[in-house]
Structure 1
Amino acid sequence: MQRSNHRAFTLIELLVVIAIIAILAAILFPVFAQAKNAAKGAQSLSNVKQLGTASIMYAGDTDDQFVAQYASIANGYGWQLSWSMLTMPYMKSYGILKDPDDNTRTTTAYDSGPKVSYVANGLLGGDCAGGAGAFWKFRGVIGFNGPSDWGPTNWYENGTRSQTQINQVAQTVLFATRSSTPPGTDHDSAAGKMEGAFGVWNAVFQGPSSSDAKDGNNGVLPGQKSLWSAPDPTYKGYIDRFYAGSSPVVYTDGHAKSVKPETTVDIPGGTTDGNGGGCFNKRYLNQWDALR
C-alpha cells in the first residue's frame, strides 16, 4: 500500500493563516464601512438637493414666494399646509424626506406620517437693540404663518420669504439635516415625541421655540447652549453629523453641499458680540439669518 505524500497543516500554520485573515479583515472592514457611509451621505445630499429644487419650483409658481408652514388652522388640520405637503407635488415621494442614517422614531399618537429628517430654516431672532414692534422677528426663509386658531398673528412674526428678499442667497440655509431634538423640548426625540410628515412642528427650526430649546437652553445650533449668552464652542447642537462630522445642507439659491454644522454660524463673532443666538442684531446667526 502506497503512503500519501500530502502533509496536513500544522496548528502553527493554521494560526498564522487565521491571523492574516483577521488582519486583512481589520484593515478592510472599516474601509467598507466608510464606503457605505459615503454612499449614504451622497443619498442624503441628493435628498436635500431635491427638497431645495422642489421649494424653488413651488416659488416659481407662487410669485417667487417660498412655501409657508401653517402652524394651525381653525378646523384643527394643520398638516395639509406643512411645507412637506405643499411641495409634495414637486417631490413625488416621501422617501426623500428621510436621511439614510436617521434612526430616530416618530410618535404614533397622531398618525404623524413618514419620518422627516430635514428641517426648514424658519429662524426667529430677538430684536435686542430695543427696536419697535414685536420682540421676535422672522429672520429665516420658511416661517409659520396664519391665519391660525390663535388669531391672525402669533407671538412671533408670521410670514415666508421670497428669493428676492434674501440678501445672500448662496449663503442662506434653506434646509438642513436634523433628525432629533434636544431633551426636554416639546418634541423631545428621546421621549418619542418627534412628529413626521403629517405634523407641522418638527419640520421647521425656529430657534427660541419650545420645539427647539428648553427654557432658552440647549438649542439646535452649534454653540447655542444658551440663547442669551455668548456661544459655547463645546456645544455641538442638533444639526446631524452623520458623514465624517458633516451634514447635508441646501441653500436658497438651490445648491447643496455637505458642511460642518459650526460653519453655518459665526461662533467667534457671537463670542465677541456676547450673544449666542437670541439676537439678530449680533453676528452669531450668520447663514440662518436671511436678512443679514
Structure 2
Amino acid sequence: MSPRNTSRAFTLIELLVVIAIIAILAAILFPVFAQAKEAAKKTSCLSNDKQMATALFLYAGDNDDTLSQTSWESDAAHPYQVHWTFLLQPYIKNWDMFRCPSDSTPIKPKVACVNGDADLGKMPMTCDWMATKGYSYIPNYNALPAHDWLPHSLTDFASPADTILVTEKRDTKDAGDAHKGLSGFLPSQPCPNWTLVQATMGTPGAGQYSYTLPELVKPLAATAGKTEFKKYDVLRVKWDRHTGGANYSYADGHAKYQKLEQTLNPSKYQYGEKWYPNSAPWNSSPCN
C-alpha cells in the first residue's frame, strides 16, 4: 500500500502570522539599513573634505603658500566666475569629489557651459569655471576670501588645527547666495581694523564685530529668508546633515565630523580667531 499523502496548505491564520512576522522584522531592520547607508555616505563625505584640504595645501604650495579665493568674478556686464572648485581640479582630477552623497541638490553653475567640461579654462570666458555637475561644499571666507578680498597665506592662521577651510553647504533651496562662501562673524565681513568683541545676541556697535552664536542661528534654520541668510551666513552650512552634525576640513589638513556648537564655541572658535583678509584694491565698499 502506498503511504498516505499528509501534506496540506497553509491556513489563513498561519499566512497572516507569517506576514505579520515579516512586517515586524522589516520595521526593525529597515531603519538599521537606512542608518548604515547614511553612515557610509557620511564617511564618503568626510573623505571628500579631507581630499579637498589636501588639494588646497598643494595649491598653496604652488602659489607661494597662498590659498585661493572663493572665486574670481568679473563685472556685472560679464557675470562669469573662476571658482575654487575649478582651481583645485588639477590636484583632484575628479569632479565627483565635490558632491556629498547625502546632498540631493548640489549647487550648479549660474552660467552653465554649453559643452560642459570641454569649455572650462578656454578664453574668451563665456561660462562659470566650476564643478559643472554641481558641488556640495562651501569654504570659510576667513580662509578662502570672497573675490573682493585678497587671498592670504596658510601662515596667517594662529590656530590652523581649529580653523575651518571647507564644510558642507545647505540645500540649494535654502542656501541663499550659495555660490559664495560663509563667515562665522557678525557682520560676516568686517573691516580688518575693527575690534572683535564678545559674542552677542544683538548687533555689535560701530567698528566692532563678534562671533556668531549657535543659539542665534539654530532657530532660524527652518524659517530663514534672504535677509537672514545675508546677515548670518553661517546659515549656509548644512550643520545637521549627518545625524545632527556635518564634516569639516581644517587649515592643518585634517578633516572631522563636528556639531554646530563645537564649531561656534567662543572659547575655541573654528571660523578664525580674528578677521584675516584684506580688502582688494578694486573693492570700493569693503566692509559690511
1:289 aligned to 2:266?
Answer: no
Question: How many angstroms apart in 2 are the aligned matches of 1:90 and 1:206?
Answer: 26
Matched with 1:30 is: 31
Instruction: Decide whether aligned partners of structure 1 residues 182 and 286 sit closer, same or farther in structure 2, where only a CA change above 3 A counts.
Output: farther
For each residue in 1:65-123, what CA deviation from the matched residue of structure 2 results, as whole angstroms up to 9, or x when unmatched?
A: 1112344236936423x21111110010110111111112546752163212111110x
Matched with 1:166 is: 157
Unmatched segments (≥5 aa) in structure 1 = 123-139, 146-153, 188-193, 195-201, 213-222, 270-282
Question: How many angstroms apart in 1 are the aligned matches of 2:27 and 2:243?
Answer: 20
**Matching residue's letter, 1:43:** S
1:239 aligned to 2:237?
Answer: yes
Question: How many angstroms apart in 2 are the aligned matches of 1:258 and 1:208?
Answer: 21
**Matching residue's letter, 1:204:** G
Question: How many angstroms apart in 2 are the aligned matches of 1:289 and 1:79?
Answer: 26
TM-score computed with the length of structure 1 as normaliser: 0.66
Question: How many angstroms apart in 1 are the aligned matches of 2:46 and 2:24?
Answer: 34
Instruction: Decide whether aligned partners of structure 1 residues 77 and 89 sit closer, same or farther in structure 2, where only a CA change above 3 A counts.
Output: farther
Question: How many angstroms apart in 1 are the aligned matches of 2:262 and 2:173?
Answer: 20
Question: How many angstroms apart in 1 are the aligned matches of 2:105 and 2:202?
Answer: 24
Aligned CA-pair RMSD: 3.4
Q: SS of 1:24's equivalent?
A: helix
Question: How many angstroms apart in 2 are the aligned matches of 1:261 and 1:98?
Answer: 21
For each residue in 1:99-149, what CA deviation from the matched residue of structure 2 results, as whole angstroms up to 9, or x when unmatched?
A: 111112546752163212111110xxxxxxxxxxxxxxxxx111124xxxx
Instruction: Decide whether aligned partners of structure 1 residues 3 and 184 sit closer, same or farther in structure 2, where only a CA change above 3 A counts.
Output: closer
Question: How many angstroms apart in 1 are the aligned matches of 2:30 and 2:236?
Answer: 29
How many residues were matched structurally?
Answer: 223
Question: How many angstroms apart in 2 are the aligned matches of 1:109 and 1:4?
Answer: 74
Instruction: Decide whether aligned partners of structure 1 residues 183 and 40 sit closer, same or farther in structure 2, where only a CA change above 3 A counts.
Output: closer
Question: How many angstroms apart in 1 are the aligned matches of 2:17 and 2:200?
Answer: 53
Matched with 2:191 is: none
Instruction: Decide whether aligned partners of structure 1 residues 27 and 184 sit closer, same or farther in structure 2, where only a CA change above 3 A counts.
Output: closer
Matched with 2:259 is: 260
Question: How many angstroms apart in 2 are the aligned matches of 1:116 and 1:62?
Answer: 24
1:142 aligned to 2:140?
Answer: no
1:9 deviates by 1.5
Q: Is the 8 A contact 1:70 1:78 kept in 2?
A: no
Matched with 1:116 is: 135
Instruction: Decide whether aligned partners of structure 1 residues 120 and 290 sit closer, same or farther in structure 2, where only a CA change above 3 A counts.
Output: farther
Instruction: Decide whether aligned partners of structure 1 residues 249 and 107 sit closer, same or farther in structure 2, where only a CA change above 3 A counts.
Output: closer
Matched with 1:87 is: 88
TM-score computed with the length of structure 2 as normaliser: 0.67
1:15 deviates by 1.2
Q: Is the 8 A contact 1:182 1:238 kept in 2?
A: no
Question: How many angstroms apart in 2 are the aligned matches of 1:184 and 1:100?
Answer: 18
Matched with 2:249 is: 250
Q: SS of 2:249's equivalent?
A: strand
Question: How many angstroms apart in 2 are the aligned matches of 1:86 and 1:209?
Answer: 29
**Matching residue's letter, 1:239:** V
**Matching residue's letter, 2:261:** E
* Bigger fraction of residues in helix: 2
Question: How many angstroms apart in 1 are the aligned matches of 2:98 and 2:166?
Answer: 11
Question: How many angstroms apart in 1 are the aligned matches of 2:49 and 2:253?
Answer: 10
1:50 aligned to 2:58?
Answer: no
Q: SS of 1:28's equivalent?
A: helix
Question: How many angstroms apart in 2 are the aligned matches of 1:226 and 1:3?
Answer: 88
Instruction: Decide whether aligned partners of structure 1 residues 38 and 258 sit closer, same or farther in structure 2, where only a CA change above 3 A counts.
Output: same
Matched with 1:205 is: 182
**Matching residue's letter, 1:118:** Y
